A and B are shown apart, each in its own frame.
Chain A
């Protein structure tokens, strides 16, 4: 492989990995606060559809991203209402949002199948002449948004009071509450955030990666992102690394000279052993308690 091929490969990895990173970042916050949002796949799908429609009608990709973020936030809010205020089962509610999102995206964008979106995002021309680096830095502003977001979100989570509140809420809600944290509010905000980022990730696939609409566009990337949250040990900076590693895995398919259907298996097959290793490691770091509703009066009765 010569330098040019490697640069092309890396650029493809960034293109494939950015939606994974965006979806992963939001979900890290949700899970850190104790909310498991299995609706990521459907949220990405509906974000992709709404983003595509908005961008197609206005000929402006940024409008598309904003629309996707809004729709994503709404789905995040729906999940939050069900699991926080109505104490619904987090797994069922998440799956519900995934299926409803997939179904709605197919119905809404039915008339857009095959259409191509025009326009492009502004590009930051950093290192545009340096072969390998240009793949990472000669990129559009959404990629930069993802870079900056993962650094900022890492800093907030581990070095500010807000971060401590989020982590405390996830690890022991009753202790957090006795320390004056509004558990419900923290969880509400984090759940909405997971939807917002998933929406953006979906729009990245439809507006930058694919640029045209077909059904089932996000193709399981939401589930991969959910696995990456665990693999990154709920750390936004590690997510930056793992997401692009998996982006490279997707890019690898294109360069792999085997049957296309077998090549498509690569990311899924790779996820399982990686998950197994990460599950081993995650026992050593603090793991948020997922899937359990916070019921104040019952916690008080039974203790932590």
Chain B
């Protein structure tokens, strides 16, 4: 018989240690699984992880991905700290992308960059925050499970984007489901030249992460959010408002994902325009869940983790392209990584030892 013995650790293992193990083990496992589908693991490793960091184009991609994950990830940290399972960063991002398209193509198409770019980010934040707010209010006031509502809101946002790019916002010049290209003042990469990264988003993200850190660990609001997240019943007894903490954390979480959505379209390495939803959000909202957890639900480590996961995400994408296998490998990798993470979360807190009794008996017999 196999017996699993679990003993509580006196001191929890640090996240830096457990997250490194999660990433290494899941890269290894994913390559093993991919090799069953006729993908050479050594070539995949080379093409996916080594080639991108050798070229400017690779770095442009890593930083583009990384900034999306950074903004979404910091947002999710706030929600997870409040004990709210926001699975909806994907939809909140899409709402931000819709906002950017609306502002740049229809609201103020002639405005100069200095007006255009801040307005895109502000409206993007508001649209994303609205999407988070809906799930937050439903959870706080009616006790509706937020995993299900945020997932439903994801699908609704998907359909809205589909509707827009195939209907009212479709580009008449092409039969592809895309919007018209944004006016050039709205291109985040063209205002950042010669750097291969969107400077507005970079500045925004690098200010927001420390701000969120201060908010969570140095203000009354942050204290209330953390209290509600760690023990809602006790926090309520001390007079902390459950509804306030849940709604504000979902507002901020959604808003930050909205900013990521603005960057995803306006900071695109291809032509900035609204595309099919799976080409805009591309599963970033889900990978951001990993980013938040691998960072130990803390805003500052997200800066490092998101860039690293930006490379990993690119790797999944490179494997898709060079082996023509669709988005499957990215999803598989996200799944494997979450699986290892869920086991590691226990291992961080408990010692796990597996005893195989039959084996021992056989060994004793010798």
A: residues with CB less than 8 A from B are: 38, 42, 82-83, 85-89, 91-93, 95-108, 110, 215, 220, 223, 226-227, 230, 259, 261-262, 264-265, 268-269, 271-272, 275-276, 279-280, 283
Contacts and interface: CB of A to CB of B under 8 A. Distances in A.
Contacts of A99: 286, 331-332, 334-335, 338
Interface string B139-159: 000111101110111011001
Q: How large is the interface on B (under 10, 10 to 19, 20 to 34, 35 or more residues)?
A: 35 or more
A91 B85 contact: yes
A108 B339 CA distance: 19
20 contacts: A42-B335, A88-B346, A93-B339, A99-B331, A99-B335, A100-B332, A100-B335, A103-B335, A106-B325, A106-B326, A107-B325, A110-B37, A110-B325, A220-B151, A230-B148, A259-B163, A261-B159, A261-B166, A265-B159, A272-B134
A101 B335 contact: yes
A99 B345 CA distance: 18
Contact of A279 (B34, B145, B162, B350): B145
Interface in B271-291: 286, 289
A283 B143 contact: yes
Given A268-B156, A268-B159, A279-B144, A86 B343 contact: yes
Most buried by B among A82, A215, A279: A279
Contacts of B138: 272, 275-276
Interface of B: 4, 6, 33-34, 37, 85, 87, 134, 138, 142-145, 147-149, 151-153, 155-156, 159-160, 162-163, 166-167, 286, 289, 293, 325-339, 341-343, 345-346, 350, 352
A110 B346 contact: no
Contacts of A275: 138, 144-145, 148-149, 152
B332 A86 contact: no
Given A95-B289, A103-B328, A223-B151, A276 B144 contact: yes
B249 to A, nearest CB: 17
B155 A97 contact: no
B159 A97 contact: no
A229 to B, nearest CB: 10
A225 B345 CA distance: 28
A-B CB proximity, top 9 nearest = A100-B335, A103-B332, A106-B328, A96-B338, A103-B331, A99-B335, A88-B342, A261-B163, A96-B339
Contact of A95 (B163, B166, B338): B338
Contacts of A101: 335
Given A92-B293, A99-B334, A230-B148, A107 B37 contact: yes
Contact of B335 (A82, A83, A96): A96
A27 to B, nearest CB: 12
Given A99-B338, A100-B336, A89 B147 contact: no
Nearest to A278: B144
Nearest to B162: A261
Nearest to A98: B335
B37 A262 contact: no
A280 B141 CA distance: 10
Contacts of B334: 99-100, 103
A279 B142 CA distance: 7
Q: Interface SS of chain A: helix, strand, loop or mixed?
A: helix
A54 B222 CA distance: 53
Contacts of A103: 328-335
Given A100-B339, A272-B152, A86 B159 contact: no
B335 A86 contact: no
A189 to B, nearest CB: 18
Contacts of A87: 6, 346, 350
A268 B342 contact: no
B167 A259 contact: yes
Most buried by A among B143, B289, B329, B338: B338
A91 B84 CA distance: 11
Most buried by A among B33, B342, B346: B342
Nearest to A230: B145
A104 B148 contact: no
Nearest to B340: A96
A97 B336 CA distance: 8
A97 B341 contact: no
Nearest to A291: B85
A21 to B, nearest CB: 18
Nearest to A287: B143
Contacts of A96: 335-339, 341-342
Contact of A82 (B327, B331, B342): B342
A89 B345 contact: yes
Given A107-B37, A110-B325, A92 B331 contact: no
A92 B341 CA distance: 8
Contacts of A279: 142-145
Given A87-B6, A103-B330, A92 B143 contact: no
A289 to B, nearest CB: 13
Nearest to B141: A276
Contact of A268 (B143, B152, B162, B163): B152
A88 B166 CA distance: 43
A105 B332 CA distance: 9
Contacts of B33: 104
A82 B339 contact: yes
Nearest to B337: A96
Contacts of B147: 38, 91
B325 A93 contact: no
A108 B36 CA distance: 10
Contacts of B6: 86-87
Contact of A215 (B162, B326, B343): B326
